[in-house]
Amino acid sequence: MTNLIPFPHMPAPAEPPPPVLLSVTDLKVHFPRPRNGLMAKPEVVRAVDGVNFEVRRGTTLAVVGESGSGKTTTALAVMRLAPITAGSVRLGLTDLSLLGDEAMRQARRRVQMIFQDPYSSLNPRQRVGDAVRAPLDLMGIGTKAERAARVDELFAAVGLRPEQQHLFPHQFSGGQRQRINIARALATNPELVVCDEPVSALDIAIRAQILNLLARLQRELGLTYLFISHDMAVVEHICDEIAVMYLGQVVERAPRQAFFARPLHPYSAALMSAVPTVQGGRTRAAQRIRLVGDPPSPIDPPAGCRFAGRCPAAGPGCEAPQTLREMQPGHWVACHRVTRVDGQPVGPLQMPAAA
Ligand SMILES: Nc1ncnc2c1ncn2[C@@H]1O[C@H](COP(=O)(O)OP(=O)(O)OP(=O)(O)O)[C@@H](O)[C@H]1O
Ligand SMILES: [Mg+2]
């Protein structure tokens, strides 16, 4: 064996980040509410109220936030299944918000969605093989033989046996049904898959299997995920970047490591303080932050910081609207009380430095 002289350590050249696939800009989804009588002022539910984010090709952006913060509505707007009041949703070079019906029908093969409830998202009277083939039939993709071969391939990819295609949904467990939903979502070979709480309805024991399946499919197929969840432990496991929503807006956006090491927004700190710490070394809130009360109504949100009414760190300046500021490369936060100490960003509820 030859003696190799080790090279002095040279940092590997940094790989350029993958290109942006999904770009959401100033997205608003406002639902008009029926008037309460002729003289009443018309009201709108500001479900999504000025949301910005990007997802790079082949990566996962997790969207978190409590119930009613607008996660599902954002996802549906990306899919063009909720009406876009303002702003844009760009997939590569295509602005989905501007497409007419036929162009959207064509674009739909590029974006697919997996829903939370594996039970209600399958037609009980349709054989599951037919359900997986349905998007191909609908979009007229391939010959009959090619579609049948594609369904075989998809069943194998998600870990189901080919003969199971002839069964009905009730003959499967929740985890298997979610595999069928994943196969159906992948039928058209999409670039972006929107996953809305894909494992929340499943038994704990099954969740890891489905998450591992999603991760493997992402690696093998280069998929891009917009992954909605309220489970920070799941999110920490699967995402590259995270966006925290509060009352229709993104209050913090960061690469995974930066966020989990140091969530800056008081709302993010509160979400994280509820997660049991597995190992030390994290700069988290000194103690559990208990949020009191409910979020304000999306019909009449506060003019300033929307979280101020529940924020333990609220004070002067919070009555002004907050905009996202980049405190470190890629780490954005909408709170004027986030500062820098020795070049490091520090949130108002955090200890200044990691112990
Ligand atoms: N079609 C609709 N018409 C009127 N209001 C709606 C509609 N869809 C959603 N909303 C309202 O918009 C807000 C955001 O709802 P959304 O379902 O997006 O929240 P979410 O973050 O997904 O919550 P959850 O964690 O419970 O799934 C809520 O106040 C909800 O009541
Ligand atoms: Mg939802």
Instruction: Say if pTM beats, i.e. exceeds, 0.85.
Output: yes
Alpha helices in the chain (DSSP H): 71-78, 101-107, 128-139, 144-157, 174-186, 204-221, 232-238, 256-261, 266-273
Mutate to test the pocket of ligand 1, among 73, 194, 195, 300 (most ligand atoms within 8 A of CB): 73
**What's the topology of domain 20-31+43-238?**
Rossmann fold (3.40.50)
Query: Which ligand sits closest to the CA of 47?
Result: 1
- Residue 242 Cα to ligand 1 middle (Å): 20
Residues of the chain with CATH 3.40.50.300: 20-31+43-238
The pLDDT, as a whole number, for residue 1 is 47
The pLDDT, as a whole number, for residue 41 is 79
**pLDDT < 50 regions, the chain:** 1-2, 281-283, 285, 353-355
d(CA 18, CA 144): 36
The pLDDT, as a whole number, for residue 12 is 67
What letter would DSSP give residue 291? P
- Residue 312 Cα to ligand 2 middle (Å): 26
Ion ligand 2 neighbours (CB, 5 A) are 72
Per-residue model confidence as pLDDT tens digits over 189-225: 999 999 999 999 999 989 999 999 999 999 999 999 9
d(CA 244, CA 22): 17
Q: Is the CB of 47 under 6 A from ligand 1?
A: yes
The protein residue whose alpha carbon is closest to atom 17 in ligand 1 is 72
- Residue 316 Cα to ligand 2 middle (Å): 33
The protein residue whose alpha carbon is closest to atom 1 in ligand 1 is 31
